[in-house]
Amino acid sequence: MGQNREIGPVVSSAHLAAGAMPALSEMEYALNVTVNAWHRWMVRCATAAGTGGMTAMDVLVLHQVNHRGREKTLADLCLVMNIEDTHLVNYAIKKLGEAGLVRTGKRGKEKTVAITPEGEAACAEYHRLREALLVQQVKTLGFDEKDMSRLAALLRGLSGQYDQAARSAASL
């Protein structure tokens, strides 16, 4: 009690933060807790919107299929979401199809997926709840939207570095 010691940055692992760039471990910790909270939010918002039983991956795929109202291929979805394991997306498409939220088709030999009217309605209700429960609360924090866009650009840039490092690690 009464010790006057400084508490350092909150990091994912002290042994990883002990290297040449402790701030990267701090960012990794922030990403970890943010991703977990975001996934929990997506599942609970989807449930509140009337589409219970969905995983975070299902919600991501549903919204990506709905994006711009154009049919997508499995390869399109995996590329845009940076998902290497196509079976994860394929399983989500199967579940969403069984729920009547998407429909599958063919373009040549490629499987396609498109949003159904029920899927559009589910996305619209999710959007309505997101605006009321999340967006309005985030706005009260006073974040500058330009700063948020810069942070998003930073995270996209970091994703490329993690991808390159993963490729390098796979070659060892």
Sign of the Cα torsion 128, 149, 20, 161 reads positive
pLDDT at residue 4, as a whole number = 67
pLDDT digits (tens, 9 = 90+) for 74-93: 999 999 999 999 999 999 99
pLDDT at residue 14, as a whole number = 87
pLDDT digits (tens, 9 = 90+) for 98-112: 999 999 999 999 999
The answer for residues whose C-beta is within 8 angstroms of residue 102's C-beta and 6 or more apart is: 62, 65, 93, 96, 113, 114, 115, 116, 119
pLDDT at residue 7, as a whole number = 77
Rounded CA separation 76/101 (Å): 18
Rounded CA separation 102/95 (Å): 9
Domains of the chain: 26-141 (1.10.10.10)
pLDDT at residue 9, as a whole number = 83
Backbone φ and ψ of 6, nearest 5°: -80, 140
Predicted confidence (pLDDT) at residue 18 exceeds the cutoff of 60:
yes
pLDDT at residue 1, as a whole number = 55
